[in-house]
Structure 1
Amino acid sequence: MSSVSNTRRVKSIKVNDLGTVLDKVNLIDIREAFEYRTGHLPGAKNIPMEDLLYEPEEFMNKDKEYHLICRSGRRSLMACNELVKKGYKVTNVAEGTMAYKGELER
């Protein structure tokens, strides 16, 4: 009997490679609200990681694709790994907001 692994590879994109698609993606900033207020990518919606992982169905639709971002890309990668296991289509935004070369919104 063979076993099938339930692990899927998480897609990743560097923050400065978002370029022209930035306004076309569902971008979720998973930092805490106080971090988000210090500056976030244009169009990013703030849903703290704990809330998102606790009840992803409240914030996400399994038929849509989402890009997750945090300060450095570490928390968003962890969140992506968990959400992929639950069947969500997510891409990690590597390097996070601290590496973003564009203008942050406040």
Structure 2
Amino acid sequence: MREITVDDIAGDPAVPVVDVREQDEWDAGHVPHAIHIPMGEVVERLDEVPDGAAIICHSGGRSARVVQYLESQGRVAANVVGGTSAWIAAGHDVAR
């Protein structure tokens, strides 16, 4: 499984980011340029997930499962190590 760090995605805003957390988690704060597709909707919204996306959740567990699913579908994706928790801890901007 490919992995990417929060600093990698902060340093390159062209990397598409897909946040797979639930609505209340998203509302509490997210990566500013992220797309919100809750984990439970990924299968039905697969066409909305950009190829090469960095998949993020709270700490990396859900996003890892989503990346595994995407890879099984022939898609390219990377798991964001440490998730939104790492993003916030690194001091990056958070959108609400």
Q: Going by fraction, where is strand more abundant, 1 or 2? A: 1
C-alpha distance in structure 1 between counterparts of 2:15 and 2:53, whole Å: 7
Residue number in structure 1 paired with 2:86 = 99
Residue number in structure 1 paired with 2:38 = 48
- 1:16 is displaced (CA, Å) by 2.7
Contact 2:23 2:38 in 1 (8 A): yes
- What is the identity percentage for the equivalent residue pairs of Structure 1 and Structure 2? 32
Q: Is 1:60 aligned to residue 49 of structure 2?
A: yes
CA RMSD of aligned residues (A): 1.4
Paired amino acid for 2:3: S
Paired amino acid for 2:49: M
- 1:14 is displaced (CA, Å) by 1.8
Q: Which runs of 4+ in 1 moved over 6 A?
A: none
Q: TM-score, normalised by structure 2?
A: 0.87
**1:89/1:105 CA distance change after superposition, 3 Å:** same
Q: TM-score, normalised by structure 1?
A: 0.80
SS state of the match for residue 18, structure 1? helix
Paired amino acid for 2:8: D
Larger gyration radius, structure 1 or structure 2 = 1
Matched pairs, number: 93
Structure 1: any 5+ residue segments left out of the alignment?
1-9
Structure 2: any 5+ residue segments left out of the alignment?
none
